[in-house]
Amino acid sequence: MKAETATAKQSQDLLQVEELNIHFPTDHGMLKAVNGVSFNVYRGKTLGIVGESGCGKSITGKAIIGIQPKTSAISGSIKLGDVDLVKLKRNGREIRAIRGSKIAMIFQEPMAAFSPLYTIGNQIMESILLHRTKNKKEAAMLTVDILQRVGISNPEKRFHQYPHEFSGGMMQRAMIAMALSCEPELLIADEPTTALDVTIQAQVLDLMKQLQREFGMAIVFITHDLGIVAEMCDEVAVMYLGKIVEQATVREIYKNPKHPYTRGLLRSIPTIGSRKERLESIEGTVPIPINMPPMCGFFDRCQDRIPGVCDKREVPETQLSDNHRVSCFLYADTDNETEILS
Ligand SMILES: Nc1ncnc2c1ncn2[C@@H]1O[C@H](COP(=O)(O)OP(=O)(O)O)[C@@H](O)[C@H]1O
Ligand SMILES: [Mg+2]
């Protein structure tokens, strides 16, 4: 019975990230942009990765499609089935075959996805020709179809336009079309709607959910906005300074947030009809993770810090329940605390 359950769960696993580290050697020491990050992505489900700017979200997303910066050292594993993406040659044949067909990414910067030199249609078609069909006519038809489906009107005309002829909102849609054109099993969406106004943002989010239902794809949804997470995600991983400090189902995170950082992020969500004049934001800024001593990275900004404990060693992870884990000394078990205090 137990074995059956384990097999059933395994078949839902799409991607397993284990102990991922992405470090940059600098003149001042080692910058640990991603530091021991582990999470699973399940088929057809959405995992949110939230945290303020500079926490390591984009770099984690990029590592999954194998485009971590050249100057970085990467270790740990990112398993897609039996293949460990970390072990593949950087920009080699194997990762290029996976990128686009199995895993696609919507970048934080829409212009990063397109060259200014070719038409939008040609660039999406190239990707379809590489991964789905060798027939040019069919690829052109599929391109027009996907442009239409992301809500670009007059797609036959738009096909022949260049990136500079598209507005910001249209570029965002074109990039989503590009990412979805090969019906990936996993979509990494990095702040996909941050640059859009609220109405278009809502349309784009609806579209992503609709296409997720149609294709059954999994999404890693990267954002600094916990308000959007409630709408889009099944699970949330909260990142701070290159680490996941809390992870739980969406319901659990909103009902029962544990980490002082998560609580701070939740207090800074604007609510419709809220009487608050000003939103609370977390005081202080995200430090640069160079030469961090073994201590909680949130210590300096934390309202609940315990001096002499939180600044004395690495924070252990506590599994609070099947679907909730947190790294904070407030929840570390007492055995550990006795050890620290003794
Ligand atoms: N190419 C790079 N070289 C050196 N440091 C980098 C590079 N890219 C990102 N970083 C550092 O990695 C950390 C995480 O960056 P990033 O993943 O872009 O954060 P986020 O997406 O959460 O805003 C930051 O401290 C940033 O300065
Ligand atoms: Mg980013």
Q: Which ligand is nearest to the CA of 286?
A: 1
> Exposure pattern of 227-263 as b/e (b: 16+ CB <10 Å)?
ebbeebbbbbbbbbbbbbbbbbbbebbbeebbbbbbe
Tell me what pLDDT residue 323 has: 92
Q: Which ligand is nearest to the CA of 190?
A: 2
Q: Please check whether residue 202 lies inside any domain of the structure.
A: yes
Q: Please check whether residue 58 lies inside any domain of the structure.
A: yes
Tell me what pLDDT residue 334 has: 57
In this structure, the residue with its CA closest to atom 7 of ligand 1 is 69
Determine the distance separating the centroid of ligand 2 and the alpha carbon of 224, expressed in angstroms: 9
Q: Is 69 in the pocket of ligand 1 (CB under 6 A)?
A: yes
Q: Which ligand is nearest to the CA of 50?
A: 1
Q: Please check whether residue 303 lies inside any domain of the structure.
A: no
DSSP state of 174: H
Q: Please check whether residue 297 lies inside any domain of the structure.
A: no
Token output for 286? 């995200």
In this structure, the residue with its CA closest to atom 2 of ligand 1 is 69
Query: How far is 235 from 237, CA to CA, in rounded Å?
Result: 7
In this structure, the residue with its CA closest to atom 25 of ligand 1 is 54
Q: Is 58 in the pocket of ligand 1 (CB under 6 A)?
A: yes
Q: Is 55 in the pocket of ligand 1 (CB under 6 A)?
A: yes
**Helices 198-215 and 168-180 sit at what angle, rounded to 10 degrees?**
10
| CATH number of the domain enclosing 21 | 3.40.50.300
- What is the pLDDT tens value at each position of the chain, 342 positions in all? 444 444 445 558 999 999 999 999 999 999 999 999 999 999 999 999 999 999 999 999 999 999 888 899 999 999 998 999 999 988 888 998 898 889 999 988 777 789 999 999 999 999 999 888 999 999 999 999 999 988 899 999 999 999 999 988 888 889 989 998 988 999 999 998 876 778 778 877 888 898 899 888 999 999 988 888 999 999 999 999 999 999 999 999 999 999 999 999 998 876 655 555 555 678 888 888 898 899 999 999 999 999 999 999 999 999 999 999 999 999 997 554 444 444
How many domains is the chain partitioned into structurally? 1
Determine the distance separating the centroid of ligand 1 and the alpha carbon of 145, expressed in angstroms: 36
Q: Is 288 in the pocket of ligand 1 (CB under 6 A)?
A: yes
Phi, psi values for residue 18, rounded to 5°: -130, 125
Q: Please check whether residue 126 lies inside any domain of the structure.
A: yes
In this structure, the residue with its CA closest to atom 26 of ligand 1 is 54
Q: Which ligand is nearest to the CA of 55?
A: 1
Q: Please check whether residue 319 lies inside any domain of the structure.
A: no
Q: Which atom of ligand 1 has the smallest separation from the CA of 222?
A: 21
Q: Is 59 in the pocket of ligand 1 (CB under 6 A)?
A: yes
Q: Please check whether residue 260 lies inside any domain of the structure.
A: yes
Q: Please check whether residue 296 lies inside any domain of the structure.
A: no
Supply the range of the domain harboring residue 181: 2-271+278-283
Q: Is 57 in the pocket of ligand 1 (CB under 6 A)?
A: yes
